[in-house]
């Protein structure tokens, strides 16, 4: 899962 | 990335491009809420500040840049190039009633009390209600051009697809962003009435007009 604060979505 | 995420992004892109092309081809922004477009430009600006601090992928960076560029181009066309066609008399939604509470909420409920994260949260909350000036304008004039309804359809569809993406990521990646999901549900609900009119009228070849 992506790290918190990692905004991979648009 | 999954199919709902990708089609959500493409639907969002389609909406933005449809609106830009509509204004450009007809040389007119009649029926389009300039205030709404200013809000979307603000949404993209505050959300994509992480372009300066983190790199996720070439896809992510280029889409963010395209969204920002298109939203500013749209604002430019409405308020500068085709200003004479802008229907300001019907674009009377009080945006401060959205921006101020949403700003307060983003300070209170966020993932991390840091400037970038607060601005990003602000953008998520603001995006969920940013369509209201446009819907308000349609309710005032009682009608919308068919191409404008296509724009609204893709804009609404995008967030609905993102909700499915959130469910997908919860099951298959174990990640869940409550703020994005709640805002996404609010955003999608605001489109429901429009979706109904779009399916029952526009897709059957009729113009979207509201009863007087």
Say what percent of chain B tops pLDDT 90: 96
**Which pLDDT does position B42 carry in this prediction?**
98
pLDDT over 50 (residue A1): no
What is the torsion angle, in degrees rounded to the nearest 10, for the CA atoms of residue B25, residue B26, residue B27 and residue B31?
Answer: -130
Nearest to A5 among B12, B117, B173 (CB): B117
Model pLDDT for residues B171-206, shown as the tens digit of each residue:
999 888 999 999 999 999 999 999 999 999 999 999
**What pLDDT is recorded for position A7?**
82
Residues B103 and A6: their CA atoms lie apart, in Å, by 21
Q: Determine whether the interchain pair A9/B111 forms a contact, defined as Cβ–Cβ distance below 8 Å.
A: no
Average of per-residue pLDDT across B8-20? 98
Contact A8 B57 (CB under 8 A): yes
Q: Which residues have C-beta within 8 Å of that of residue B7, sequence separation ≥ 6? A: B161
Contact by Cβ (8 Å): B131, B190: yes
What is the CB-side half-sphere exposure of residue B188 using CA atoms within 13 A? 15
Task: Please name the member of B54, B63, B112 whose beta carbon is closest to the beta carbon of A10.
Answer: B63
Helix/strand/coil for B209:
strand
Give residue ranges of B with CB < 8 Å to any A CB.
5, 9, 12, 47, 50, 54, 56-57, 60, 63-64, 67, 111-112, 117, 120, 162, 165, 173-175, 180
Residue A4 has pLDDT above 60, yes or no: no
**Is the pLDDT confidence value at A2 over 70?**
no
Domain boundaries, chain B: 3-202
B16 pLDDT more than 90: yes
Q: Are B106 and B46 in contact (CB under 8 A)?
A: no
């Amino acid at each position: 899962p992506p790290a918190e604060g990692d905004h991979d979505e648009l | 990335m999954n199919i709902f995420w990708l089609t959500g992004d493409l639907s969002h892109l389609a909406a933005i491009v449809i609106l830009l092309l509509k204004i450009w081809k007809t040389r007119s922004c009649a029926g389009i809420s300039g205030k709404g477009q200013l809000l979307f430009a603000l949404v993209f600006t505050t959300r994509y500040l992480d372009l300066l601090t983190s790199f996720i992928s070439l896809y992510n960076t280029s889409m963010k840049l395209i969204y920002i560029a298109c939203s500013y181009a749209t604002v430019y066309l409405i308020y500068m190039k085709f200003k004479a066609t802008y229907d300001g008399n019907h674009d009377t939604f009080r945006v401060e009633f959205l921006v101020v509470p949403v700003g307060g909420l983003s300070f209170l409920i966020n993932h991390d009390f840091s400037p970038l994260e607060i601005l990003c949260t602000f953008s998520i909350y603001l995006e969920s209600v940013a369509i209201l000036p446009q819907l308000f304008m349609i309710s005032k004039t009682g009608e919308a051009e068919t191409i404008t309804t296509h724009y609204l359809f893709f804009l609404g569809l995008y967030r609905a697809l993102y909700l499915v993406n959130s469910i997908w990521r919860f099951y298959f990646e174990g990640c869940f962003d409550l703020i994005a999901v709640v805002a996404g549900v609010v955003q999608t609900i605001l489109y429901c009435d429009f979706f109904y009119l779009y399916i029952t009228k526009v897709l059957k070849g009729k113009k979207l007009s509201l009863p007087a």
